[in-house]
Structure 1
Amino acid sequence: MTTVCLSANTLYYPEGGGHRWVYLNWALGLLAAGCDVFWLEGVDPATSDDDVRWLVERLAADIAPYGLEDRIALWSYADDGDDYDAPAGRPMEGILDADLLLNFAYGMPDRVVQRFRHSALIDIDPGLLQLWLSRGELTVAPHDVWFTTGETVASGSSSIPDTGRMWIYTPPAVCVDAWPVHCAPDQGPYSTLTHWWDDEVFWDGESRDNSKRVSFRPYLGLPREAGIALEIACDLPEDDEDVSLLRANGWRVSSGVAVAGSASAYQQYIRASRGEFACVKPSCLWFANAWVSDRTLCYLATGRPAVVQHTGASSVLPDRSGLLRFRTPQEAAALLNEAESDYDRHSREARALVEAHFDARGVAMSVLERALP
């Protein structure tokens, strides 16, 4: 049996149910592929033992339904972290003979990566990670294999900076068994979950806002133009002026933590939706990275059509079949109505798309074949 240590990055964001699912889908795919799986998290040395125990308890509660609660191990960011005596989880020493470190934590120190026999990094920020690396804004330890979830990163057919690494494309993953088709509510909204703000990025000679706020503003009038209920679950406080602006234009706005503060709540929120409507970070458009969100895959797996912003030419992503990709507000309104007018077909095609290209078991097996000698 192949043993894989999956290094996630969720410990300090216990209220991020959707963020937890990014890594949980991969872990479940590895399990379905017949692997023995351990869940690794990095610990800031400034965190007290009591806080570490509480954070691990929150993580364990989220992944317990899938039998992973006793598979957690911790490593430390401290310079002398090799001697870290974790107050919770398994000791690292017991899992260092794993066949593969599958690493999503860009900041994992070289001394930790090198303790494993084989290592592979998964890039889930295609375009941005390469930009950070090319400018020296981020240092990532050497890995044996470099995977990316951006199609055009690996193809070299975009403006994404060259980092001197050989990037291999892998689709993002969704565990279709954990996300079965679920009957959609007739009156449910087309929803999405997002962070509203993000950092500025220096690109093409200028500093640019890379927030979802910028992306959604051209679509403020969409609920009325399309005549379809749209909802955003985000991290804005109730009294924020953007909440008032969204609601004044017909949007429903809810708290992301309130509706998706755990892995199970996140799943329930998506099931209560009729579909997804989402804009991407502006950087996805600058880079044309042909990326699709793991969140969108969860909607699709559940049989929810997803109307999302176009991120570039793709050999995998359709434009009007379960996944409907728009470039303008007018096109977004038309595609929302197209999804509604032939809902059952788009629902079937949504599920078929993830089964064909994003099923976590198949994705995991493909990664293992390329990452292990």
Structure 2
Amino acid sequence: MATIVLNSFVIRHPVGGVLSNNLQFLTGLERLGHEVYLLEKAGYEQSCFDPELRVSGDDCSCGFRRIGDLLGRHGLTGRWGFVSADDTYHGLTRQQVDDVWARTDLFIDRGLHRSWDDEAAEVPITVLMDPDPGFRQVKLANDLDRGRAVPHYDAYYTYGHNIGTPRSSAPTAGVTWRPLFHPIDTALYEPTINPASDAPCTTVMNWSPLENVTYGGVTYGMKDVQFPAFADLAALVDLPMEIAVDGRNIPAEDLRERGWSVVAALEVASSYDDYHAYLAGSLAEFSVVKEVYSGMNVGWFSDRSAAYLAHGRPVIVQHNGICHHLPTGEGLFEVHTVDEAADAIDQVRAEPERHALAARRIAEQYLDTDVVLRRFLNELGLSESNNSGGGR
């Protein structure tokens, strides 16, 4: 058994999708027989978002409640710790956190937070987990051009399966990137094989969450510059099309005039339970991708789409090269144009059970935590039969 520390941005932003994608790692690693902890630092003042009050500040009590409840429901009570901006420890005490670090075998940094650099310095294996393929590599490459070194980790993983291959134009910043699907613990979810007759096609998204990036003279944006190519989709299909969206400058009225239902993501998917209920109650997911994903053909597949598949909900996603790594055409469709998207939705409507079963099958065979995380640990030399268990 290995002791594994996961660092993320979840207690500071405890909304449904973020809670869900972190839970998959925690339950998945625990299910493989390891002792796993979520450790997080505020890092800076005003870093805590409260989705109930919809304010940001230094008070992370909403995050404490939500992560404590969620982990407790899944047999992980006492497996989280948070350090506030004023250096106050929550969840695990300072001594307990120190004790965890003293025996940690693997540190996973989900997003180059670097808030635990000192504590992780003597951990045998450190891993950077890149959640935004293309964006991360461009920023690191641009930093290199400015004379800034790439932060050191023992291994670098990305959700972009084409990164570092001829299929993608994304830079590597001199790093060997290993591909990883975002895992989904399918044991946690019962698939919905026969959705309601009026179930909408949905997604949960942020309109423009990150700053644009420029590489090689080309500027890449967010979903806000991708969605217009599919804005007429709602008028081409005979079923409700809905986006649960947050972010800046959302053209909600224009989208509604084009036939879309537009709801606030925080209204329908703020909590972990609401988020999964929303996904499970959909006919399917339709989603565009960030411009850098398609522009650099990174081969990305989201944790949200993995959750749709686990619920037995088919996924129609904008093309960015994932078809080389997951089976498409049944339960999962990768589309270039609005007409292709409309055709895929029509196929799902015509044979909902067939595509529901295929969706769940993809989740189980390719994305399940047992498949993804077992391979991940084996690549790092931390298989069940070869764990150091000794930390430092």
On whether the aligned pair clears a TM of 0.5, the verdict is yes
Residue number in structure 1 paired with 2:168: 158
3-state secondary structure, aligned to 2:374: helix
- Describe the superposition over 1:142-186 as per-residue Cα deviations: whole angstroms up to 9, x where unpaired: 111111111111435321102112211122111101122124222
Give unpaired runs (5+ residues) of structure 2: 49-56, 383-392
Residue number in structure 1 paired with 2:217: 205
- For 1:40 and 1:139, locate their aligned partners in 2 and report how far apart those are by CA, in whole Å: 26
- For 1:2 and 1:304, locate their aligned partners in 2 and report how far apart those are by CA, in whole Å: 34
One-letter code aligned to 2:133: P
| Structure 1 pair 139–72 and aligned structure 2 pair: CA distance change class (3 A) | farther
Residue number in structure 2 paired with 1:330: 339
| Bigger mean CA offset, 329-338 vs 47-56 | 47-56
Note the C-alpha offset of 1:201.
Answer: 1.8
C-alpha contact (below 8 Å) 1:148/1:154 kept by paired residues? no
1:91-170 paired onto structure 2 within 5 Å: 91=94, 92-96=97-101, 97-109=103-115, 110-136=117-143, 141-170=151-180
| Bigger mean CA offset, 298-307 vs 183-192 | 183-192
Find 1:51's aligned residue among 55, 59, 67: 59
Note the C-alpha offset of 1:216.
Answer: 1.1
Find 1:74's aligned residue among 76, 82, 87: 82
- For 1:233 and 1:339, locate their aligned partners in 2 and report how far apart those are by CA, in whole Å: 21
Q: Does 1:89 align with 2:92?
A: yes
Note the C-alpha offset of 1:139.
Answer: 7.0
3-state secondary structure, aligned to 1:356: helix
- For 1:281 and 1:50, locate their aligned partners in 2 and report how far apart those are by CA, in whole Å: 30
One-letter code aligned to 2:252: V
- Describe the superposition over 1:255-306 as per-residue Cα deviations: whole angstroms up to 9, x where unpaired: 1011111111111111111110111111111110111111011111111111
Find 1:361's aligned residue among 370, 377, 383: 370
3-state secondary structure, aligned to 2:308: helix
Q: Does 1:301 align with 2:310?
A: yes
C-alpha contact (below 8 Å) 1:52/1:88 kept by paired residues? no
- For 1:268 and 1:117, locate their aligned partners in 2 and report how far apart those are by CA, in whole Å: 40
One-letter code aligned to 1:94: D
C-alpha contact (below 8 Å) 2:189/2:311 kept by paired residues? yes
Residue number in structure 1 paired with 2:245: 234
| Structure 1 pair 307–27 and aligned structure 2 pair: CA distance change class (3 A) | same
| Structure 1 pair 38–139 and aligned structure 2 pair: CA distance change class (3 A) | farther
One-letter code aligned to 1:188: A
Note the C-alpha offset of 1:115.
Answer: 3.9
Find 1:189's aligned residue among 191, 200, 204: 200
- For 1:273 and 1:369, locate their aligned partners in 2 and report how far apart those are by CA, in whole Å: 36
Give unpaired runs (5+ residues) of structure 1: 79-83
- Describe the superposition over 1:75-95 as per-residue Cα deviations: whole angstroms up to 9, x where unpaired: 5789xxxxx551443432020
- For 2:322 and 2:203, locate their aligned partners in 1 and report how far apart those are by CA, in whole Å: 23
Residue number in structure 1 paired with 2:266: 257
TM-score, structure 2 as length reference:
0.86
C-alpha contact (below 8 Å) 1:223/1:230 kept by paired residues? yes
3-state secondary structure, aligned to 1:321: coil
One-letter code aligned to 1:3: T
- Describe the superposition over 1:299-349 as per-residue Cα deviations: whole angstroms up to 9, x where unpaired: 111111111111116432223111011101111111110111122111111
RMSD: 2.3
- For 1:111 and 1:205, locate their aligned partners in 2 and report how far apart those are by CA, in whole Å: 37
- For 1:355 and 1:288, locate their aligned partners in 2 and report how far apart those are by CA, in whole Å: 25
One-letter code aligned to 1:21: S
Note the C-alpha offset of 1:46.
Answer: 3.0
| Structure 1 pair 215–347 and aligned structure 2 pair: CA distance change class (3 A) | same
C-alpha contact (below 8 Å) 1:56/1:89 kept by paired residues? no
| Structure 1 pair 324–232 and aligned structure 2 pair: CA distance change class (3 A) | same
3-state secondary structure, aligned to 2:12: coil
3-state secondary structure, aligned to 1:135: helix
Residue number in structure 2 paired with 1:371: 380
| Structure 1 pair 54–328 and aligned structure 2 pair: CA distance change class (3 A) | closer
| Structure 1 pair 89–51 and aligned structure 2 pair: CA distance change class (3 A) | farther
Note the C-alpha offset of 1:218.
Answer: 1.6
Residue number in structure 1 paired with 2:12: 12
Residue number in structure 2 paired with 1:60: 68
One-letter code aligned to 1:221: D
